Amino acid sequence: MANRRDSRIEPSFEGSPRAKSSDGFSVSEEDRVVPRTRKSAAKGKSAKAKSRGRGRDRNRRGLLGIATRLVYWCFVLCIWGGIAVAGIVVYYGAKMPAATTWSIPDRAPNIKIVSVDGGLIANRGMSGGEAVGLHEMSPYIPAAVVAIEDRRFYSHFGIDPIGLSRAMVTNLLGRHFSQGGSTLTQQLAKNLFLTPDRTLERKVQEVLLALWLEHKHTKDQILEMYLNRVYFGSGAYGVEAASRRYFGKSARDVSLSEAALLAGLLKAPSKLSPARDPKAAEERAQLVLAAMREEGKISDKEYKVALSAPATRAPSYWTGSENYVADTVMDELPDLVGDVRGDIVINTTVDLNLQKLAEQSIRRLIDESGKKLNVTQGALVSIDDSGAVRAMVGGYDYSTSQFDRASEARRQPGSAFKPFVYMAALEAGRTPDSIRNDAPIKIGKWTPDNYGGKYYGKVTLATALAKSLNSVAAQLTMEVGPDAVVEAAHRMGIQSDLQANTSIALGTSEVTPLELTSAYVPFANGGYKPDIHFIQRITTAAGKVLYENNGGSAPRVIKADIVGMMNSMMTGTVEVGTAKKAAFNWPSAGKTGTSQNSRDAWFVGYTANLTTGVWFGNDDGSAMKKVTGGALPAQAWHEFMVAAHEGVPVRPLPGTWKSTPSDTIVPDEIPSADASQPPPAPPAAVGQSAPVAQAPAPARQVRTTRPAETVDAGGGFDMPSDSGETGSIKHPVPPGNVGGPTKKRQTSILNILGGG
């Protein structure tokens, strides 16, 4: 077998070498499956390239497929999302009333309170300001609001997709809710109809309502409604209220810088309020100005001017004392017109110039002497003969205390109450020339001391009233009876409860400055008690009269001869008595009052033109430092009345009384101490049963009385001098039971108020 293998002939071809395998076989090149030539290699490379191209095509087709599928599924998701949104809208929309029943709710009515000459005293009501038309307000206001709050307001259909998308992106990037996409129309819809809750339901309803508003109203109407209702912080609803709140002016007069400040508040009214953070408000206003310039609402020049002259904020809101008047008017309003359902205008009787004069006088005196004399509060009321209140100051500063001391605070009037004691005595038959012995007396366990412990012996009633002698006032109260004094005071206009005891002679029962002043008015107008009023007329914004005070009739409450005698005596208080600091170039009269330890100091005085009462004291009842009615109150009264009577023709006080010559004065017989003889009863209340008559014009007669004087059996007794020299005497002392027993004797009073 081996030989046979060796002897095998292997064919050989020229040019075709053979290859011999390891086992002895040889293979020619032609026998190979893939010939090893260059051409064959090139063909191999081309095939590989084609293969790679086919792979890239397959990749491209794969990416395109993925993108196509992604777009497809996004489209599907959008469809389903739209269906879901539509379902939500339909669901929440179905819970709302039918669109045919939708209507713009009435704006909260504004109550505009004006002075007698038409000047604005205050705007009250939920809005705090009247509605102002878009064409009436400063054009800077709507321009500023649109520029910062809704730049595409006049181009969108109630919803701003661009603004909404921008807000969503900003919130997502910031990972917190920092911007809202609501348009002005949506904000108005929320303010008009919805609660501020941040819920999906509320947002859907807001969108639906915004679309409805855009369908029913023009853009200008929507913007006007928005500006008159939106909240601007610090209690101001609407642009008019905000303008007066922050700048003390109407929205009609707002400047560019002020408009920018108002528009800037809308982002965060409470936080950015200039009343809270002026710096933040100003920084926001600068952003608004930049937005207005960017939108072409203002020029570069206007922008620079506004930046160089920022808005000047009013120092404080509602600081004026006229707001005490506004509060009183609001209290009286329901009784006159009932519920207020629309904007109204209230014409008051207050003279705004007199109101400012009164406020300035009270504040100046407290600023100058408050710390030195421990005085922190004051009040003033001025009423004309018809009962119209011309000025009322209820405290030092309304912004720090809205409590009205003029109409609400009841304080002891001290000797300012004595005119009613003397009036009751005159009605019981006494005269200004009647003589009483001013000396220490004791009534039961009570000893009514004079102010400073000074006594003057035998004096006329005119002198006793002018010098505010407590001893004589107590004697007269004992003679006529406390009930007669209480009746006289109530008849004249005091409304507070009065204690019918002997100490009422010194004003121990509390009254308000308003009622005490009103009770002096019959002395000034000839004996008539008018209706004290603040409101002259109430009309709708269109001018329809809802209420008008026609004056009516005033009953006579005091006889003309008594008026003459009282005016004669109280003139002495101003001329030679305790209120000499009040005197000015007009016939005037009045009475001072100082309560125990100078807790209260009063002066109520009058001319034939005005009756004005002034009070000074402290809310906590702490004592002032020797302040009497003849000091600060008389000074404030003098300042006010001089200004109030400037240019007014002089008129005498009504009524006449001629004094008996001093050499023919016959002292009244001092009543016996016999308890069986009751004190003389005062006449029936004048005018209570008689037909009510219109008060005539005050009498023009000039009084012909001499000044009050002191009478002494030993040839006369001088009045004390201003230097403090005293003419006090200790004797004679009237009997302790002078005037007879009282019906209601109180023995628990240890300290009685001193005279003024």
> Please, which residues have CB within 8 angstroms of residue 671's CB and are 6 or more apart in sequence?
479, 677, 679, 680, 738, 739, 740
* Structure tokens that stand for 578 in this block: 């305790």
Residue type, 252: R
> Please, which residues have CB within 8 angstroms of residue 340's CB and are 6 or more apart in sequence?
109, 111, 125, 333
Exposed, middle or buried, 290 (CB in 10 Å: 0-12/13-18/19+)?
A: middle
Please say whether the beta carbons of 16 and 26 come within 8 A.
Answer: no
* Rounded Cα–Cα distance for residues 576 and 584 (Å): 13
Instruction: Give 213's strand partners.
Output: none
Phi, psi of 126 (to 5 degrees): -65, -35
* Rounded Cα–Cα distance for residues 656 and 35 (Å): 156
Residue type, 206: E
Displacement of CA 122 from its chain's centroid (Å): 8
Residue with tokens 């009510």: 692
- Residue 149 annotated in active site: yes
Kindly name the residue from 415, 434, 503, 598 that is annotated as catalytic.
Answer: 415
Cβ atoms within 10 Å of 393's Cβ, excluding its own: 33
* Rounded Cα–Cα distance for residues 345 and 538 (Å): 6
Q: Which three-class secondary structure state does DSSP give residue 380?
A: strand
* Structure tokens that stand for 714 in this block: 């030993």
* Rounded Cα–Cα distance for residues 482 and 562 (Å): 19
Kindly name the residue from 149, 206, 240, 427 that is annotated as catalytic.
Answer: 149
Phi, psi of 600 (to 5 degrees): -135, 140
* Rounded Cα–Cα distance for residues 197 and 157 (Å): 24
Please say whether the beta carbons of 241 and 232 come within 8 A.
Answer: yes
> Please, which residues have CB within 8 angstroms of residue 192's CB and are 6 or more apart in sequence?
104, 105, 209, 225, 229
> Please, which residues have CB within 8 angstroms of residue 193's CB and are 6 or more apart in sequence?
105, 205, 209
Sheet holding 545-548: strands in order across?
120-124, 111-114, 344-348, 535-540, 545-548
Q: Which three-class secondary structure state does DSSP give residue 588?
A: coil
Nearest to 494 by CA among 395, 598, 423, 579: 423
Nearest to 306 by CA among 293, 319, 295: 293
> How many CA atoms lie less than 13 Å away from 452 in the CB half-sphere?
16
* N-to-C CA span, the chain: 166
> Please, which residues have CB within 8 angstroms of residue 190's CB and are 6 or more apart in sequence?
182, 196, 202, 206
Cβ atoms within 10 Å of 365's Cβ, excluding its own: 22
User: Which DSSP letter does residue 754 get?
Assistant: P
Instruction: Give 538's strand partners.
Output: 346, 547
Sheet holding 589-594: strands in order across?
389-393, 377-384, 610-617, 600-606, 589-594
How many helices (H) and strands (E) would you count in the chain?
21, 14
Please say whether the beta carbons of 627 and 373 come within 8 A.
Answer: yes
What is the bridge-based pairing of β-strands 600-606 and 610-617?
Answer: antiparallel
Exposed, middle or buried, 670 (CB in 10 Å: 0-12/13-18/19+)?
A: middle
- Residue 415 annotated in active site: yes
Exposed, middle or buried, 650 (CB in 10 Å: 0-12/13-18/19+)?
A: exposed
> Please, which residues have CB within 8 angstroms of residue 472's CB and are 6 or more apart in sequence?
436, 438, 459, 461, 464
Please say whether the beta carbons of 206 and 189 come within 8 A.
Answer: yes
Residue type, 730: K
* Positions marked active-site: 149, 415
